[in-house]
Amino acid sequence: MNCVKLVLFFMLYSFLCQLAFSSSLPYLCPKHQALALLQFKQMFTFNPNVSHNCYNPTTDLSWNKSTDCCSWSGVHCDETTGQVIEVDLFCCGLQGKFHTNSSLFQLSNLKRLDLSYNDFSGSLISPKFGELSSLTYLDLSCSGFTGLILAEISHLSKLQVLSIQTVGRLRLGPYNFELLLKNLTKLTDLDLYSVNISSTIPLNFSSYLASLQLAHTQLRGVLPERVYHLSNLEYLDLSFNSLTLPNPSNVSGLQNLQYLYLSSNYLNGTIPSWIFSLRSLFILDLSNNSFSPVPKSLLNNLGLNYLILSQNNFSGQIASTVCYLKTLRVLDLGSNNLNRTIPQCLAQISELQVLDLNNNRLTGTINTTFNTENRLIIINLHGNKLKGKVPPSLINCRYLKFLDLGNNELNDTFPIWLGALPNLHILSLRSNKLHGPLSDSRTNNSFDQIRVIDLSSNGFSGDLPVSIFENFQAMKTIGENSGTREYVADEYSDFYTNALIVTAKGLELELPRVLTTYMIIDLSRNRFEGHIPNIIGDFVGLRTLNLSHNGLEGIIPASLHQLSVLESLDLSSNKR
């Protein structure tokens, strides 16, 4: 009897072990789905350089039939059934025609599909996308799709995220836009950046929306009141359209809004008061409109990190109460009609990294005292009527990369001490009343990171300073060999443009961004004398050299032939 029990025990034990072992094995990807994926891959070539926006592109899409497709990169399967439910091909370097009957549409259980940042140039968005009825996430952004976004997309009633960013190649008819918003009631994120919609904004929205990106879509008319009741909304971008803003009495539904972009909408008058009640607001961009007075109630938004009000019609003095915004990182009031003096307290905003007051009518001296705790990276005061000296407290701005005090009325000698700033890349003092010789530098590393130095249209005199030039270490390498494509002081490029005025090839240009490889020396329209020093030939990274309209003489140094990437050279109007 005991033997029988023992046999039964081992049989039961063996069965349980087999059951446990079999349950631990993952289901294999169905063969027809693996074949569909391989067929899809074979339709494209691989080019890792198809998108400049991919910081870490896939170097190879290593799918092969000898392995289970559930283990392939970018492919995820249901743990129970083995069905392919996710295909993530973001930045995979795929290049070629995306056919409207692609084998990818055989993956009927897909819940997530990301085809963004590839190159399907000229391909149409297939109506078959509408058959993937289980999709909750669809991203077709920046992959070269063209033509019309069809109504079939609105059949994907389970979608929570829909992103179809483009560069002006896609259209979404007014009816399809309304249908999309009406049917996709579970959307949390909708991104149609630069899709040509050309209509008013429909009244229906998913109440779950947390992010709505409709910039550059040619929308017009009044922003519907429904938007003000989207209680989950955190991100709203309606820039570059033709919208008008009502002033509803109740916007309590927007209390979670953190990012608001309304730039370039031809808005005018006073800023709508409802904006001031958004207590969670982190970024406010109202640039390039025609707003007039800066209301004091704006300063109630004490959590603001980015305040961008450039290119409007604001006038009067900058209220010192702006300094109550202690969390500000970016303050851009450029290209308005602001006048009188700069508030001294601006330099005391401890988190401020960008201070841009360019192209206003500000007067008086720059009497702001920058303390040693400041974090400023960009200071742009270009194009005002500021007088007096370059403030000595700028020496405390140890993080400063970009300093533009050009086109003012500053009356001072050359601030050689600025060379001690360890991160200074761009220095523009052009078109002031600065004078005297460029004194020799006593610091070995003075200006060693400088890439652009513009002292043009002043009254500087004496010889060109060899001892200062010797320290220009950054100019002694050709940019292409010294690193990747980067821009100077570009930390906030998604929100702010630090433009620089330069003269090149006889033309005055505005550079919206400055490449770290774009190196300029402009000492034109001064009173420099003597010879052009040979050391300038060591600055092999120079793109522009302008020494015109001075009193220089002698022969042109043979060393200048080493400037292999030089694009603009102007030595005109000197002594022969």
**pLDDT of res. 9:** 41
pLDDT in tens, 243-300: 998 877 777 778 899 999 999 998 988 888 888 888 899 999 999 999 987 766 666 6
Encoded amino acid at 6, one letter:
L
Q: Of 479 and 290, which is predicted with more confidence?
A: 290
pLDDT in tens, 149-159: 989 999 999 99
3-state DSSP helix/strand/coil % of the chain, to nearest 5? 20, 20, 55
* Residue 575 domain-assigned (yes or no): yes
Does residue 3 surpass a pLDDT of 60? no
* Residue 494 domain-assigned (yes or no): yes
pLDDT in tens, 55-100: 666 666 789 888 899 999 999 999 888 999 999 999 998 999 999 9
* Residue 491 domain-assigned (yes or no): yes
* Residue 130 domain-assigned (yes or no): no
- Which residues does 403 contact at the CB level (< 8 Å), separation at least 6? 379, 394, 418, 424, 426, 427, 428
* Residue 83 domain-assigned (yes or no): no
pLDDT in tens, 92-142: 989 999 999 999 999 999 999 999 999 999 899 999 999 999 999 999 999
The mean predicted confidence, pLDDT, of the chain is 88
- Per-residue confidence band for 4, with pLDDT thresholds at 50, 70 and 90: very low
Q: What is the DSSP string of 484-536?
A: S--BTT-TTTTT----EEEEETTEEEEESS-BTT-EEEE--SSEEEEPPPGGG
Note the pTM of the prediction, 2 decimals.
0.88
Overall domain count for the chain: 1
Encoded amino acid at 180, one letter:
L
Dist. CA 205–CA 125, nearest whole Å: 23
* Residue 24 domain-assigned (yes or no): no
Lowest-confidence pick of 28-37, 451-460, 479-488, 541-550: 479-488
Number of neighbours of residue 412 by Cβ within 10 angstroms: 18
**pLDDT of res. 166:** 87
* Residue 257 domain-assigned (yes or no): no
Number of neighbours of residue 119 by Cβ within 10 angstroms: 20
Dist. CA 113–CA 199, nearest whole Å: 28
pLDDT in tens, 541-561: 999 999 999 999 999 999 999
**pLDDT of res. 566:** 94
What is the percent of the chain with per-residue pLDDT over 90, rounded to a whole number? 63
* Residue 570 domain-assigned (yes or no): yes
Q: What is the CATH number of the domain that holds 532?
A: 3.80.10.10
Does residue 14 surpass a pLDDT of 90? no
Range of the domain at 531: 450-576
**pLDDT of res. 297:** 66
- Per-residue confidence band for 492, with pLDDT thresholds at 50, 70 and 90: confident
**pLDDT of res. 6:** 38
Q: What integer is the mean pLDDT of 329-333?
A: 95
Lowest-confidence pick of 103-112, 135-144, 388-397, 500-509: 500-509
**pLDDT of res. 409:** 97
Contact 342, 317 (CB under 8 A): no
